[in-house]
Chain A
């Protein structure tokens, strides 16, 4: 009997603590909203979510540090791989960060139409922004001529990396795919296989393989077919797509460790066998950001690794470039958030990440690249006349997820090209219908 009051009290304390935890958890996303009422944007907090973790997170924080020092505001950054889900759940409920990375232009248009994204035309100095930024990327950040997004950093997708100690392609990079295959085989040396391939990436596994398909399709069939395809206007069973898949399977069959190893290897370390002795492979396809990941981080550009652009299948489409970028949007137009957005597009801000490596700047005046290769890629990005955006990132999420999933099954050898394409075409009927 004497112990009962104690038990009651313990129960109450436990309940109270749970409630307290809930309270503080629900408070953080809205805490910054109070900032909008305050006139002087100093001492404010700007909540930001993005997909960057590890080195990339450090680089972003380094990028905003001067702004924090200057304005006295702070950036509260959270890196998450579930950003799509957080935003998709946040749009109807309104629980959103001040600034966030956006999955792609498609989602940006969707969020803008829902009224969640704030237009940036009055926030940025539009004239300067447009004169400094790659025109193709400016176009991608607009919805019906209103700017809703900015690119913090960008990447060029179609690059083939190699180890110059095995064979130096820099004086005469292969011009066509056929040249690449013959020269690659001839210069393979003691490398175990021609290609390195790794497509594991947690629940997004398969995306490096979708990049392969995109790159092949773009150079085989051209930008028009490419754009029709991601927009859902082309059947997956179309001969153009079929042909791209067949070329990809040639790569899988010549990959280090085969398809099994490709599906079990994480994309960021997939290129590491380039530097092994004897090398596991001679060539590796990945976007420009690979220089900030895996074994590339300890190596020297130019002497330990080098790259050439994806070769042409067809002269007509030789100069087409596939780019990708980290789009950023604003969900709460507080003074501090606006000031941060304005700062992030400047050459001064973008130069910080560029200098740290692993990023290309969409801003033409941010040119402090740490090495010649990065400089060259930066030029490819800002100078490209025909630039297409990552196709799978522009597909509806269900289509994109199915594309990833079937690339994994196909690469692992559990499906044939015909099976994969016919299922993907069924998904197309469903995914674009929404």
Chain B
């Protein structure tokens, strides 16, 4: 215990000292540099540690992963495109891919749709901040904890027994039979149930972002429309919604990335059984449970390849928005 305390103290005091020392040292170096180069070199010296750390912890592992994706399970010899061929030929992997598409579409629609609804509704009530806090709160829970909470929500007991799961207890009160929410594969109901958990967590995020954009709309525009005789629906449909589109796109792209990376909920709630597998969980299983480092790396590369274009779109939009301001 005391060891850790000392380490923490050293880090709290020592790390800032090292960083201040680094800046001081760069200034010493800059003294011998001729004046006109100084302002050009200084920023590079200041970002150098960040670039170094990024390279070490992000770029280097990425290159390593791409390399390993062309190697066998024990990283001993090259196997060409075998790992990728496996991914696109394997039934389980295809099912996981299909589920991710479902996650991507439904989670995005859920968070953007419900987030927008709450943002618009909450905008008109007096206890706005309290209502927003309640909806935002699930985001503060870890995903594993959310999974465990929802396991209780979905719990199933045989017909006739006392239903301990919240959802089935409610159904029971209306006289209908219990539904094994996480065990029904038809229409991928179990996957949809998992997506709802993630949607429950992220709706607050969508709402907060959209709400902020809503506040940014010039009220005079809305006033003008109302004076001209527009109904509330027309105001929303023709003025508010078009002005919110860039924000909705940002929320949507963030959700697409979240959906592609979905792991914790599936891992804690179903372990990918009964056709609920997703790519990230499959990657974890192949790599850490089955020791298939080549296949696991190939899945990681495919996931990265799917996410990068969406991130580029997101960054592009963000820049365009900044430019307008």
Q: Which residues from chain A sit less than 8 Å from chain B, CB to CB? A: 9, 12-13, 15-17, 19-20, 23-24, 27, 31, 84-85, 88-89, 192, 202-206, 256-257, 260-261, 263-265, 273, 280, 396-398, 401, 404-405, 408-409, 412, 414, 423, 431, 434
Closest beta carbon of chain B to A16's beta carbon, Å: 4
Chain A residues near B290 (CB-CB < 8 A): 396-398, 401, 431
Contact call A12/B16, Cβ cutoff below 8 A: yes
Check if B16 sits within 8 Å of A13, measured CB to CB: yes
Is B15 interfacial (CB-CB < 8 Å)?
yes
Bound-state Cα–Cα, A409 to B73, Å: 28
| The 8 A-B residue pairs with the shortest CB-CB distance in the complex, in nearest-first order | A203-B271, A257-B158, A20-B11, A16-B15, A12-B16, A264-B156, A20-B8, A398-B290
Q: Is B231 an interface residue (CB 8 A)?
A: no
For residue B156, which residues in chain A have a CB less than 8 angstroms away from its CB?
261, 264-265
What 0/1 readout, one digit per residue, does chain B (254-276) give for beta carbons within 8 Å of chain A? 00000000000001101111110
Instruction: Name B180-229 residues within 8 Å CB distance of A.
Output: 180, 182-183, 185
What 1/0 flags go to B143-173 for Cβ under 8 Å of A?
0000000000000101111000000000000
B126 in the interface, Cβ–Cβ < 8 Å? no
B272 → chain A closest CB, angstroms: 7
Interface contacts beyond A88-B288, A88-B289, A409-B273: sample of 19 additional A-B pairs, CB < 8 Å, sorted by A: A13-B12, A15-B19, A16-B12, A16-B16, A17-B8, A85-B289, A89-B288, A192-B160, A204-B271, A205-B271, A256-B158, A257-B158, A261-B158, A398-B290, A401-B285, A412-B185, A412-B274, A414-B274, A434-B73
B91 at the interface (CB under 8 A from A): yes
Q: Could you tell me if B7 and A20 are in contact, using CB atoms closer than 8 angstroms? A: yes
Complex: A404 Cα to B291 Cα, angstroms: 18
Alpha-carbon distance A205/B7, docked complex (angstroms): 41
Chain A nearest CB from B108 CB (Å) reads 27
- Interface pair B7/A23, CB less than 8 Å apart: yes
Q: Name B residues whose Cβ lies closer than 8 Å to a Cβ of A.
A: 3-4, 7-8, 10-16, 19, 73-74, 91, 156, 158-161, 180, 182-183, 185, 267-268, 270-275, 285, 288-292
Q: Which single residue of chain B is at the shortest CB-CB distance from A12?
A: B16
* Docked complex Cα distance between A290 and B276 (Å): 29
Of all chain A residues, which has the CB nearest B10?
A20
Asked if A264 and B289 make an inter-chain contact with CB atoms under 8 angstroms apart, the answer reads no
CB of A397 within 8 A of CB of B15, answer: no
Closest to B285 in A: A401
A27 and B16 form a contact (CB under 8 A)? no
Cβ–Cβ contact B183 & A263, under 8 A: yes
Closest chain A residue, CB of each to CB of B9: A20
| Cβ-defined contact, B15 with A15, below 8 A | yes
A19 to B18, CA, bound (A): 13
* Cα of A139 to Cα of B15 in the assembled complex, Å: 54
Report yes or no: B11 in contact with A19, Cβ–Cβ below 8 A: yes
- Chain A residue contacts of B8, Cβ below 8 A: 17, 20, 23-24
Contact, CB under 8 Å: A27 / B289? no
* Residues in chain A near residue B267, CB distance under 8 A: 203
CB distance from B290 to the nearest CB of A (A): 4
**How long is the Cα–Cα vector from A186 to B164 in the complex, in angstroms?**
32
How far does the alpha carbon of A12 sit from the alpha carbon of B7 in the complex, in Å? 16
Chain B residues positioned under 8 Å from A13 (CB to CB): 12, 16
Contact: B11 with A17, CB < 8 Å?
yes
What are 8 A-B pairs at a CB distance below 8 A? A12-B19, A19-B11, A20-B8, A88-B288, A263-B183, A264-B156, A397-B289, A408-B273
Residues of A within 8 A of B15 (CB): 12, 15-16, 19
Identify B183's interface contact among A23, A206, A412, CB under 8 A. A412
Interfacial chain A residues near B273, Cβ < 8 Å:
203, 205-206, 404-405, 408-409
A24 in contact with B7 (CB, 8 Å): yes
Contact B274 A263 (CB under 8 A): yes
Find chain A residues with CB under 8 A from B292 CB.
Answer: 398, 434
Which one of A31, A405, A414 lies within 8 Å of B185 (CB-CB)?
A414
B76 smallest CB distance to A (angstroms):
11
Chain A positions within 8 Å of B182 at CB level: 264
Residues of B within 8 A of A405 (CB): 272-273
A310 to B91, alpha carbons, bound, how many Å? 36
Q: Say whether A84 contacts B289, CB under 8 Å.
A: yes
Q: Is the CB of A20 within 8 A of B289?
A: no
Cα separation A206 to B272 with both chains bound (whole Å): 12
Scoring A31, A84, A256, A261 by chain B CB atoms within 10 A of each residue's CB, the highest score goes to: A261
Contacts of B13 in A (CB 8 A): 16
A85 and B185 within 8 A (CB): no
How far, in whole Å, are A37 and B160 apart by their CA atoms in the complex?
Answer: 63
The answer to whether A409 touches B274 (Cβ under 8 A) is yes
